[in-house]
Amino acid sequence: MNVHVLIIGLGLIGGSLAKALQRHPDAHISGYDADALTARKAYKMGIIHSSPPSVEIAAKEADVIIFATPVATTLKLMEQSKYWDLKNGVILTDTGSTKKTIMEAAKNLDCTFIGGHPMAGSHKSGVEAAKEVLFENAFYVLTPNDEAGAEQLAFLKELLSVTKAKIEVLAAADHDHMTAIVSHFPHLIAASLVHQLAKEEDYPFARQLAAGGFRDITRIASSNPEMWRDITTQNNAMIVQQMDNWMAEMAELRELLVQNEETAIQDYFQEAKSVRDELPIAGHGALYSAYDLYIDIPDIPGILSEMTGYLAEEQISIVNLRIIETREDVFGILVISFQTPEDREKARACFNRRTSYDSYIS
């Protein structure tokens, strides 16, 4: 093994990167975590090849150091790295969701820093949830600093290629602007919708009605509040800009509603439908997605065990399941969530072969 990779932070992202990078024939993966128990667990699970006793010792041997930690922690580690005994030519990178702040701090380093953001996630967290397939077909954005040459960028891209992610190189500001549009600001919208529902105290039944589509479109509001506090404060200017754009859009929409002209309102919805329908279906975007399959099923005893049993027999993993609007003698909708679109397609094929129930993607 010729390439020593140190991953600092062995949560879902760090652990999954460690597992995926073990596919590389020349890589030795060492791991360090502030929680020594987590590092020992990762070693015993075979997620990392070695677990050095300190970050300084681990960094001394590394050719590549990956900070798989929250942005605020990464910034502190970057400052500490000035005092580490690093190899000549070492490459530092990170996995943070915002890049401009990180890349500004990287200007103070004497080594190559290539920012990184693997756009993948899970409903689970911690090293126990690590999956080597987590990044497959997901975008993995790299934001190199001025010190990074073409050879070093190519080296890191080759190393990360075993994750089977789609690697793209962007400027840090461009990354933060685009993720503000399609990831960061939508979280605020989801949170605000939930807040609006919570204020409807005179209509408690509204929460029961929210069990269907409303719950689906606000799913991201259940994400880690501390993480999204950090993302919102670190990418604040971009998000505020998106909010200004949103307020302008809402003002235009409000005027449409005040005018109450049917053709103009239909045109508004038609344009939104056309743009949305043209968005890519396959692969991962900037938001974590669970891929849902909808199945019309009768409300009869044992139906859940029957359906999940078929998936278990064909070794298809699921993320979540729920039933919507089931009543006696009426077909309900079973919604099963999967980690990847490939698993969803396997499940749909499975049900088509083995049941007479209709399955579809909404």
Block means of pLDDT (10 residues each) for the chain, 362 residues, are 92 94 95 94 94 92 95 94 94 95 94 93 77 88 89 96 94 94 92 93 87 78 84 92 95 96 95 88 59 81 88 88 56 77 89 86 70
Query: How high is the pLDDT of residue 8?
Result: 97
Query: How high is the pLDDT of residue 326?
Result: 42
Token readout for 115 is: 């920012």
- 199 shares its domain with 108: no
Give the end of a domain, one of 170, 193, 224: 170
Name the residue type at position 309. Answer: G
Contact between 64 and 159 under an 8 Å Cβ cutoff? The reply is yes
Contact between 311 and 303 under an 8 Å Cβ cutoff? The reply is no
Instruction: Give the separation between CA 171 and CA 3, rounded to whole angstroms.
Output: 27
- 180 shares its domain with 328: no
What is the number of domains present in the chain? 3
Instruction: Name the residue among 157, 161, 159 with its Cα closest to residue 149.
Output: 157
Token readout for 14 is: 């760090």
Instruction: Give the separation between CA 255 and CA 238, rounded to whole angstroms.
Output: 26
For 257, residues 6+ apart whose C-beta sits below 8 A from its C-beta are 265
The total number of residues shown for the chain amounts to: 362
- Per-residue burial over 218-234, b if 16 or more Cβ lie within 10 Å, else e, is bbbbebeeeebebbbeb
pLDDT digits (tens, 9 = 90+) for 323-357: 765 444 445 678 888 877 888 899 999 999 998 88
- 30 shares its domain with 158: yes
- 148 shares its domain with 49: yes
pLDDT digits (tens, 9 = 90+) for 145-189: 887 889 999 999 999 999 999 999 999 999 999 999 988 999 999
Count the neighbouring beta carbons within 10 Å of the beta carbon of residue 258. Answer: 8
- 94 shares its domain with 147: yes
Query: How high is the pLDDT of residue 329?
Result: 41
The domain of 9 spans: 3-170
| Phi-psi sector, 225: left (phi>0), alpha (psi -120 to 50), beta | alpha
Find the CATH number of the domain harbouring 231: 1.10.3660.10
